[in-house]
Amino acid sequence: MIREILEYPDPRLREAGKPVAEVTDEIRTLVDDMAETMYAAPGCGLAAPQIGVGLRVFVVDCAAEDEPSELKVFINPEIIEKDGQVVWNEGCLSFPGVTEEIKRAERVKVRALDRDGKTFELEADGLLAVAIQHETDHLNGVLMIDKLNALKKRMMGRKLAKARAEAESPDA
């Protein structure tokens, strides 16, 4: 089922997700809904708080359009190592039509539970590392606008207002 994606400045985006006590069928249904919602948007990552669910769950799929799907599920993720630095032009489904250059770690190691509740560790770089950090931020109530200086925050606010106006115009 496709869920509604909350958009900035919805206050629910600022609420940190609570740990998942047990991976149940209800959690697997949530994961399936999140994947369907992310693909429909379309995006390469979606965290549960972005659909108004206050749990520490996110999904990512960083496969290019011409590649097969590579859906990854992260339940109760913890970034256990970070290395290097990269600036990435990021977008966010909660900030439709807006991208900003954000500084992140170049490589990360993450530990999480998968869709079946099994623990795994993953080392990632490139877009996947950026997506993992971005979605982990969502689980902590941190948004990409929080990574910007005051001037860039104001500019991003204007870009968001412009993108919303264009999306709502009858010519769009």
Q: Where are the domains of the chain?
A: 11-168
Share of the chain above pLDDT 70, in %: 99
Fold annotation for 11-168: Peptide Deformylase (3.90.45)
Q: What is the pLDDT of residue 145?
A: 95
- Contact indicator for 140, 120 with CB cutoff of 8 Å: no
Question: Which of 26, 70, 135, 168 is an active site residue?
Answer: 135
Q: What is the pLDDT of residues 8-31, one digit of tens each?
A: 999 999 999 999 999 999 999 999
Is residue 172 scored above 90 in pLDDT?
A: no
Q: What is the pLDDT of residue 168?
A: 87
Return the structure tokens found at 146: 């929080």
Residue 135 annotated among the catalytic residues of the structure: yes
CA distances to 29, 41, 104 from 32, in Å? 5, 14, 28
How far is residue 136's CA from residue 51's CA, in Å, rounded to a whole number? Answer: 15
Is residue 64 scored above 90 in pLDDT?
A: no
Q: What is the pLDDT of residues 95-127, one digit of tens each?
A: 999 999 999 999 999 999 999 999 999 999 999
Q: Which amino acid is at 1?
A: M
**Does pTM surpass 0.75?**
yes
How much is the average pLDDT of 135-162?
Answer: 94
